[in-house]
Amino acid sequence: MDFNLTEEQIMIRDAARDFAQNELLPGVIERDEKQEFPTEQIKKMGELGFLGMMVDPNYGGSGLDTVSYVLAMEEISKIDASASVVMSVNNSLVCWGLETYGTEEQKQKYLVPLATGEIIGAFCLSEPEAGSDATSQKTTAIDKGDYYLVNGTKNWITNGNNASIYVVIAQTHTEKGHKGINALIIEKGMEGFVVGPKENKLGIRGSDTHSLMFTDVKVPKENRIGEDGFGFKFAMKTLAGGRIGIASQALGIASGAYELALKYSKERKAFGKEISKHQAIAFKLADMATQIEAARHLCIKAAWDKDQKKDYDLSGAMAKLYAAEMAMQVTIEAVQIHGGYGFVKEYHVERLMRDAKITQIYEGTSEIQKIVISRSILSD
């Protein structure tokens, strides 16, 4: 057992850290305030290979392992979770699904520009009445011979307005239940496809979250991913990897808040000494550091499982559950350590606390992770 990172992994982590500090930190408070999508920063992330990290270089990707992806996600998320969610969705939910299950034609047409960051993608599963219960798809894709006719609404879609292609999960054979669901690639601009208004969110406010409406959208048969009826299985397999991305996002949010709290505690004085020298604060920092380290190991273990071609449903769910709950707890404590300064925007920790909350909700709530974990441990 070797806990050392490879030279390449360290290089990727350091490159992500430098990018976050130099490119994402300037203006991060203003982007949050104005709900401004980090367009230029995402473009640069694409140029550096952060939007197709695990994609085969033959398709324009960086060809890196999942561990490197986790390390980069943590560093980006320390500074700007609105940028890291774009990175997570593009890598885990869109690129991975296309590379794993797409046809060669789909890969050449869509995966190459996605992996190079020329365009970004969106993953469309959630609906007004189908959140955690993903089998209750009301969006329909009726088979019309050489095309599908898509009708319905998707909501909470990350990259909703800025994406160029959308992987949409829809019901084709209602009588077959979840075995009648398909995954379709829908392009922005297809007739009948409308992007709804932007959501005004608590956190990750720089990210682009919209509802999407489909009215008699004609989608060519060649845009279906996998066999007829493969859509639900595709969504679940894709989300299993997505959980590793969001777990590492939660880890980054927490470690970013912890680093700020640690620094502040060594500078702020109360009762004649730095507050870090008061046991009440020192013990908070000890708990935070321990929880972050535990989450980091869970994230890297899930990534390692994926790289080793082992089953990562359980390890990914454990990483997502623990990292998300930990991030919420650690960011609250980071605000507390800052006292009144933690309550104002210029000290960053209040934003990280707001950003942490979504990690307990999207790509499978904490409650759903417990269902996945409990089913796994009770199945023997």
Average confidence (pLDDT) per 10 residues, the chain, 380 residues = 96 98 98 98 98 98 98 98 98 98 98 98 96 93 98 98 98 96 98 97 98 98 98 97 98 99 98 98 98 98 98 98 98 98 98 98 97 94
Cα separation, 48 vs 83, whole angstroms: 14
Task: Single out the residue of 6, 5, 24, 27 nearest to residue 16, CA to CA.
Answer: 24
User: Within the chain, what is the greatest distance between any pair of CA atoms?
Assistant: 78
Collapsing DSSP to helix, strand or coil, 138 comes out as: coil
pLDDT of residue 286: 98
Identify the CATH homologous superfamily for domain 7-120.
Answer: Acyl-CoA dehydrogenase/oxidase, N-terminal domain (1.10.540.10)
Rg over CA atoms, the chain: 21
| Residues whose CB falls within 8 Å of the CB of residue 115, separated by 6 or more in sequence, listed in order | 51, 52, 55, 59, 60, 61, 95
121 with 166: CB under 8 angstroms?
yes
363 catalytic residue (yes or no): yes
For the domain covering 122-231, report its CATH number: 2.40.110.10
**Domains 7-120 and 238-378 equal at CATH topology level:** no
306 with 297: CB under 8 angstroms?
no
| Residues whose CB falls within 8 Å of the CB of residue 349, separated by 6 or more in sequence, listed in order | 257, 260, 261, 331, 334, 335, 338, 342
pLDDT of residue 1: 86
Q: How far is CA 269 from CA 256, 274, 298, in A?
A: 22, 4, 35
Point out the catalytic residue in the list 259, 350, 363, 367.
Answer: 363
Q: How far is CA 127 from CA 28, 265, 269, in A?
A: 30, 44, 50
Annotation: CATH topology of 238-378 = Butyryl-CoA Dehydrogenase, subunit A; domain 3 (1.20.140)
Cα separation, 175 vs 177, whole angstroms: 6
pLDDT of residue 195: 98
Q: Nearest 5°: CA angle at 16, between 326 and 328?
A: 15
Residue-range domain boundaries for the chain:
7-120, 122-231, 238-378
90 with 113: CB under 8 angstroms?
no
Q: Tokens in use for 208?
A: 């682009």
Specify the pTM. 0.98
